[in-house]
A and B are shown apart, each in its own frame.
Chain A
Amino acid sequence: MLFFVKNFKKCAGVLDRYVEQFFKIFHKKERKNEPPRKMLNSYKLSAWINARFPLREIWNKNARQYLTPRNLNFWYFFGVFSLLVLVNQIVTGIWLAMIYTPTSADAFSSVEHIMRDVPFGWLLRYMHAVGASAFFIVIYLHMYRSIMYGSFKAPRELLWIIGMLLYVVLLIESASGYVLPWGQMSFWAIKVLITVFSVVPFIGKQIVVWLQGDYSVSGVTLHRFFAFHVIAIPLMIIFLVWAHIVALHHVGSNNPTGRDVEKIPFHPYYTIKDLSGVIVFLFVFFFIVFYAPTMHGYFLEPANFTPANPLVTPLHIAPPWYLAPYYSILRAIPNKLMGVSLSAGAIVLLFFLPWLDRSKIKSIRHRGILTKIALTIFVISFVGLGFCGTENLTDTNILFSRIFTAFYYLFFLTMPFYSKV
């Protein structure tokens, strides 16, 4: 033993030679039977594919030779994050749909079955639920980035509008998903949400019945929303995401300065940068999934762990946090039709942003002090509205909701004036 340790190098050398010779025999044998190879198999395969499908062309156009500004900062991660969350929602959603039962009798207990009895079912469910909230956090920051750096301006107006459509469709997707656990809050929040449509003149009642599939919210409604949630709306989302990326790659990314800057290929520079960002995002995401999956009632409400009961109205009905800003506009306005119009208008106005902003300068960095103040007030009023929407209705709450609603609207309506200054 000691001899072996002392003469390790020598021994290893001898062993090496034996091993080499041993494999040489095999190598020769293999060579003899096979015809000589001129091309590596992987090249052959790619040549075969590219003769039939423009795989390399797509890769080159969208990654290898796709030029991106070199100064994209932290705010530009949120696009790729939202794509990642979308994939997460689809993958976890498929597995959840395998076990979930969309009937009023079994929906709640099937969710509990996933949480308790299905191996790692709790992980899938928490990833899906936290993913829904993460989607909105990411999307709101993504939209804020666009507003801040003027990414909605020419030639990116259509990119912005496709993105806004995506946002609206995402709101519908999340609202329909919120119904599925069939807890108390699922039931009553969707009841309130559907009632909102009854104020539409002339056809309001019909819309409500059509949405419910019944004369009140029932198991039929649940089944219907399940179909919306897993088939209809995801298809729309995937199509719109495709259109969003096509539009982006046609006009290219804006950048924090809002001016023309030096450009670099997307791959490898931004693929590796995005990957490092994605890992940081996943770290935060999984920290929440494993250690605070309900986020103190923001991501999964305590009241929603009680099965839906049409006979017992909960004391406080609050929508999920991402709908709260619009809900608090709705509550702040005494007239129902006006309230609904104003909260819908809050989203509609965003569509017109490219034409409301009259400034030729894109980025907030080079804009006047008025625009900077206006954007700050807008952020405060949006967060404030969200806060008011999750709280109980009091006089103070209504007062603040009204103030925030006014500032929210003023941001858009006075934009053509202050943005020109």
Chain B
Amino acid sequence: MSGSVSGSGSGSVGRIVYFFCIAVFVMATLLISNAVFADETPITLEHVNISARDRASILRGAKLFAGTCMMCHTAKYLENNKFARESGITLDKMPINQKEWLMNVVPPDLSLEARVRGADWLYTYMHSFYKDPSRPTGFNNLLVPNTMMTNIFAAMQGVQEREPEREIITPIFGDNKPHYYQVLKLVQSGTQTPEEFDDTTRDLVNFLVYASDPHARERKSIGIYVLLFLAIFFVIVYALKKLIWKKIK
């Protein structure tokens, strides 16, 4: 029993190494599980570069939302949001009381959609509609097969068709899932070039992310002051601690 008692110097080094290994193990577990969380889509999600600071982009997205998305979708929780109201997103303009929908599928409320799906998911979803005559809306989606949403983007993006020989095979290991543009090709161009459409959808996603968490920007800017205060407070308290503990050392 007492044979394993190591010297105080090497013992403490051993202890630190031991706890470091445990901490690395826990961190690695968290990282792996994070990767698996995102691993449930049939295609690779495109990364969209959005920023809460880009107010112009959010405003463009809000206007687009009010003009197009709000024909079917609601955003109930933006009721008291000043920014949204100025862009024309008000409760009375939302299709809240509409009773009849295609196949009785009620379009979801989009106030929190970005929190549920994530920005990249929304961005990819908007890009991956393709022509499918077998569907009642005439369009299908790679990310949500048999989606009931009409392809409202067709006028802007143009019409995409799925290349028949490309099958989506979800690999078991690795991240080799296809991109939407590897499976779909543009057969009829819309009012916007692909680059313009990327910007339009980016604005829309930026707005939806803002809508899901309107205080994100405020939160991040307050955070700096709180952390700064704590850091300064720590220096003072730690100096006091050193001073008090001097008496017994």
With contacts A122-B219, A286-B230 known, is A368 near B4, CB below 8 A? yes
Tell me whether A403 is interfacial, beta carbon within 8 Å: no
Tell me whether B99 is interfacial, beta carbon within 8 Å: no
Tell me whether B104 is interfacial, beta carbon within 8 Å: no
Are B230 and A279 interface neighbours, CB within 8 A? Answer: yes
Q: What residues on B are CB-neighbors of A359 within 8 Å?
A: 1
With contacts A279-B233, A290-B226, A380-B25 known, is A296 near B34, CB below 8 A? yes
Total interface residues in chain A, CB < 8 Å: 55
Interface stretch of the complex, out of A31-39, A43-51, A76-84, A297-305: A297-305
Q: Complex: how many Å from CA A216 to CA B18?
A: 48
Name the 4 nearest CB pairs between A and B, nearest first: A290-B223, A305-B115, A279-B234, A305-B112
Are B223 and A291 interface neighbours, CB within 8 A? Answer: yes
Partner of B37 from A273, A296, A372 at Cβ < 8 Å: A296
Min CB distance, A144 to chain B, in Å?
A: 10
Tell me whether B237 is interfacial, beta carbon within 8 Å: yes
Tell me whether A414 is interfacial, beta carbon within 8 Å: no
Q: What residues on B are CB-neighbors of A109 within 8 Å?
A: 76-77
Tell me whether B13 is interfacial, beta carbon within 8 Å: no
Tell me whether B33 is interfacial, beta carbon within 8 Å: yes
- Pairs A–B under 8 Å by Cβ, sample size 24: A112-B112, A115-B215, A116-B80, A116-B215, A269-B244, A272-B244, A276-B238, A276-B241, A279-B234, A279-B237, A283-B234, A287-B223, A296-B34, A302-B117, A302-B118, A359-B1, A365-B5, A366-B4, A366-B5, A369-B4, A383-B29, A387-B29, A390-B33, A421-B1
Q: Complex: how many Å from CA A130 to CA B3?
A: 44
Interface string of B157-180 (1 = CB under 8 A from A): 000000000000000000000000
Most buried by B among A290, A366, A386, A387: A290
Q: DSSP majority for the A interface?
A: helix
The residue of chain B having its C-beta at the shortest distance from the C-beta of A296 within the complex is B34
Q: Complex: how many Å from CA A379 to CA B26?
A: 10
With contacts A280-B234, A306-B112, A306-B116 known, is A290 near B219, CB below 8 A? yes
For this complex, into which size category does the number of interface residues on chain B fall?
35 or more
Tell me whether A264 is interfacial, beta carbon within 8 Å: yes
The residue of chain B having its C-beta at the shortest distance from the C-beta of A278 within the complex is B237
Interface string of B90-108 (1 = CB under 8 A from A): 0000000000000000000
Interface string of B217-249 (1 = CB under 8 A from A): 001101100110011011001101100110010
Q: Complex: how many Å from CA A117 to CA B80?
A: 7
Interface string of A386-401 (1 = CB under 8 A from B): 1100111000000000
Q: Complex: how many Å from CA A305 to CA B36?
A: 20
Are A269 and B245 interface neighbours, CB within 8 A? Answer: yes
Most buried by B among A291, A305, A376, A386: A305
Are A286 and B227 interface neighbours, CB within 8 A? Answer: yes
Min CB distance, A260 to chain B, in Å?
A: 17
Tell me whether B2 is interfacial, beta carbon within 8 Å: yes
Most buried by B among A116, A291, A365, A376: A116
Are B116 and A302 interface neighbours, CB within 8 A? Answer: yes
Tell me whether A24 is interfacial, beta carbon within 8 Å: no
The residue of chain B having its C-beta at the shortest distance from the C-beta of A324 within the complex is B33
Min CB distance, B71 to chain A, in Å?
A: 22
With contacts A306-B112, A306-B116, A392-B36 known, is A272 near B240, CB below 8 A? yes
Are B26 and A112 interface neighbours, CB within 8 A? Answer: no
Q: DSSP majority for the B interface?
A: helix
Min CB distance, A414 to chain B, in Å?
A: 17
Are B77 and A116 interface neighbours, CB within 8 A? Answer: yes
Q: Complex: how many Å from CA A287 to CA B4?
A: 40
Partner of A276 from B77, B111, B214, B234 at Cβ < 8 Å: B234
The residue of chain A having its C-beta at the shortest distance from the C-beta of B22 within the complex is A379
Q: Complex: how many Å from CA A5 to CA B33?
A: 69
Give how many A-B residue pairs fall within 8 Å (CB-CB). 112
Residues on A lying within 8 angstroms of B by beta carbon are: 70, 109, 112-113, 115-117, 122-123, 126, 264, 268-269, 272-273, 275-276, 279-280, 282-283, 286-287, 289-291, 293-294, 296-298, 302-303, 305-306, 315, 359, 361, 365-369, 372, 376, 379-380, 383-384, 386-387, 390-392, 421
Q: What residues on B are CB-neighbors of A117 within 8 Å?
A: 80
The residue of chain A having its C-beta at the shortest distance from the C-beta of B232 within the complex is A279
The residue of chain B having its C-beta at the shortest distance from the C-beta of A280 within the complex is B234
Partner of A290 from B32, B112, B220 at Cβ < 8 Å: B220
Are A283 and B230 interface neighbours, CB within 8 A? Answer: yes
The residue of chain B having its C-beta at the shortest distance from the C-beta of A295 within the complex is B30
Q: Complex: how many Å from CA A392 to CA B33?
A: 10
Given A286-B227, A390-B33, A392-B36: 14 more A-B contacts, CB < 8 Å: A109-B76, A112-B111, A116-B77, A272-B241, A276-B237, A282-B230, A283-B227, A283-B231, A302-B117, A359-B1, A361-B1, A366-B4, A367-B1, A421-B1
Q: Complex: how many Å from CA A287 to CA B228?
A: 11
The residue of chain B having its C-beta at the shortest distance from the C-beta of A75 within the complex is B19
Q: Complex: how many Å from CA A150 to CA B81?
A: 55
The residue of chain B having its C-beta at the shortest distance from the C-beta of A264 within the complex is B248
Are A366 and B2 interface neighbours, CB within 8 A? Answer: yes
Q: What residues on A are CB-neighbors of B111 within 8 Å?
A: 112
Q: What residues on B are CB-neighbors of A315 within 8 Å?
A: 40
Q: What residues on A are CB-neighbors of B116 within 8 Å?
A: 302-303, 305-306
Q: What residues on A are CB-neighbors of B2 within 8 Å?
A: 366
Q: What residues on A are CB-neighbors of B1 within 8 Å?
A: 359, 361, 366-368, 421
Q: What residues on B are CB-neighbors of A268 within 8 Å?
A: 244
Min CB distance, A285 to chain B, in Å?
A: 9
Q: Complex: how many Å from CA A306 to CA B230?
A: 35
Q: Complex: how many Å from CA A302 to CA B122?
A: 14
Min CB distance, A105 to chain B, in Å?
A: 13
Q: Complex: how many Å from CA A384 to CA B117?
A: 27
Min CB distance, A300 to chain B, in Å?
A: 9
With contacts A70-B248, A276-B238, A366-B2 known, is A286 near B223, CB below 8 A? yes
Q: Complex: how many Å from CA A293 to CA B223?
A: 12
Q: Complex: how many Å from CA A297 to CA B220?
A: 19
Q: What residues on B are CB-neighbors of A303 within 8 Å?
A: 116
Q: Complex: how many Å from CA A306 to CA B32?
A: 25
